[in-house]
Amino acid sequence: MLSITASNMTTDMVLVVIFLSIVTQITALMNSAVILTIINTKKLHLPANYLICSLAVTDFLVAILVMPLSVLYIATKKWLLGCVVCEAWLSVDMTCCTCSILHLCAIALDCHWRTPRHVAIMVTITWTISVLILVPLLWRHSGDDNFGNYTKCLIKHDHIGYTIYSTFGAFYIPMAIILILYYQIFIAARTLYHKRSSSGAQCKWRASSHNCLSSCCVAPTSLCASEQSVSEPMTQICASRERKAARTLGLNLGAFIVCWLPFFVKELLVGLRGFHASAQVSDFLTWLGYVNSLINPLLYTSFNEDFKQAFRKLLRCNDAHPTRKPAAPMCRRKDCAPLRHLGGPLG
């Protein structure tokens, strides 16, 4: 049956299937690389990086359990795998995608999770919430002979209450939390940048002068007279890091919203009977959300030098003497701490 369906596919559909298959493979490879890098690099064995690893595991599950069956469904234009597989696929799809989104919320709260125990609790909470969002769907469809029939495998939008419950729990509430946290971090970063720009190399340090925001302490610039000879390059390095972290913040937030907001707006409007989406629109918006699982490992690791070095070592495992750039003068940790976690947790 699959061969007959394949022979009836148009050239455009063949290209779409090939493209989606490539995206699926790259997503699996990128997330598996992040997982292996964190596991094999002791320098990355930090609580904040455990969240990155957990996110990569979740996105890896999306790549190997959800995306391939979606490619098959799009290629054949009907469901061929039966009711049981349909229920399992929809359950894994909803749970893993929700868990991936909640992980982004947890990473935005990075400065609160300072021990492996805290990270384990947060990961447990994300999976628990994801399952709780799924349970009402399974309960509503239990015993429904039409659910997951042999031609269609879709989540029904016949209960407005569940639509609101699932969309707000899986996306709108986490998005609001992320927006609030990132806005606070951005304001703190801008304030600190202006303080550094105005203070220059003057010594204005007071031990008690700390600006604390959401338990993440931001210390003002402290460059004493004895350090004036190196104050300017150190300030430039710190400012460069802040600008880089601010760009990373914008990319993280922008990618999350662009990938998932259209899908959840569609889900809410369809559930409220305000919009009817065609199969092509639904598939496009669904895959736009899946692409976030490919973008996550790129954004949360590519701006981190420790991850870059670990990736190079993973790719060149036989190179006994990897080339290393000379270390640049470093600003003190408390001077550059405010945006430490925006570009991915640092080693």
Domain ranges of the chain: 2-339
Taking 50 as the threshold, does the pLDDT of residue 341 lie above it?
no
- Give the pTM: 0.76
What does the DSSP 8-state code read for residue 141?
Answer: H
Look at the block and give the residue holding tokens 């092509």. 280
Q: Does residue 229 register a pLDDT over 60?
A: no
Enter the DSSP assignment of 126: H
Q: What is the pLDDT of residue 4?
A: 43
Find the mean pLDDT for residues 21-45. 93
- Check if the beta carbon of residue 303 is closer than 8 Å to that of residue 52: no
More confident call, 137 vs 54: 54
Q: How many whole angstroms separate alpha carbon 26 and alpha carbon 36?
A: 15
Mean pLDDT of 206-214: 39
Residue 320, pLDDT score: 46
Phi-psi region of 215 (alpha: psi -120 to 50; beta: other; left: phi over 0): left
- Is-contact 299 255, C-beta < 8 A? yes
Average pLDDT of 321-338? 45
What does the H/E/C string look like for 155-167?
CCCCCHHHHHHHH
pLDDT value at 10 more than 70: yes
HSE toward the beta carbon, residue 194, CA cutoff 13 A:
6
| pLDDT score of 18 | 95
User: What letter does residue 338 receive in the DSSP assignment?
Assistant: G
**Per the structure block, which two tokens stand in for 163?**
């639509």
pLDDT of 234 above 80? no
DSSP 54-105: HHHHHHHHIIIIIHHHHHHHHHHSS--SHHHHHHHHHHHHHHHHHHHHHHHH
CATH of 2-339, one of 1.10.3720.10, 1.20.1070.10, 3.40.630.10, 3.40.640.10: 1.20.1070.10
* pLDDT given at position 115: 81
* Nearest partner of 33 among 50, 56, 12, 16, judged by Cα: 56
- Give the pLDDT band of residue 249 (cuts 50, 70, 90): confident
Q: How confident is the model at residue 139 (pLDDT cuts 50, 70, 90)?
A: low
Highest mean pLDDT among 48-57, 132-141, 181-190: 48-57
Q: What is the mean pLDDT of the chain?
A: 76
Confidence of residue 25 (pLDDT cuts 50, 70, 90): very high
pLDDT exceeds cutoff 70 at 21: yes
Q: What is the dihedral of CA 322, 346, 201, 230, to 10 degrees?
A: -20
What b/e readout covers 122-160, taking b as 16+ CB neighbours within 10 angstroms? bbeebbebbeebbeebeeebeeeeebbeeeebebebeee
pLDDT at 343: 46
Q: What is the mean pLDDT of residues 174-186?
A: 87
Taking only the tens place, the pLDDT of each residue in 48-58 is 888 899 999 99
Q: Give 180-186's long-range contacts (Cβ < 8 A, gap of 24+).
A: 181/108, 181/109, 181/214, 182/108, 182/249, 182/252, 182/253, 184/213, 184/214, 185/213, 185/216, 185/249, 185/338, 185/339, 185/342, 186/246, 186/249
Which of the four pLDDT bands, split at 50, 70 and 90, describes residue 215? very low
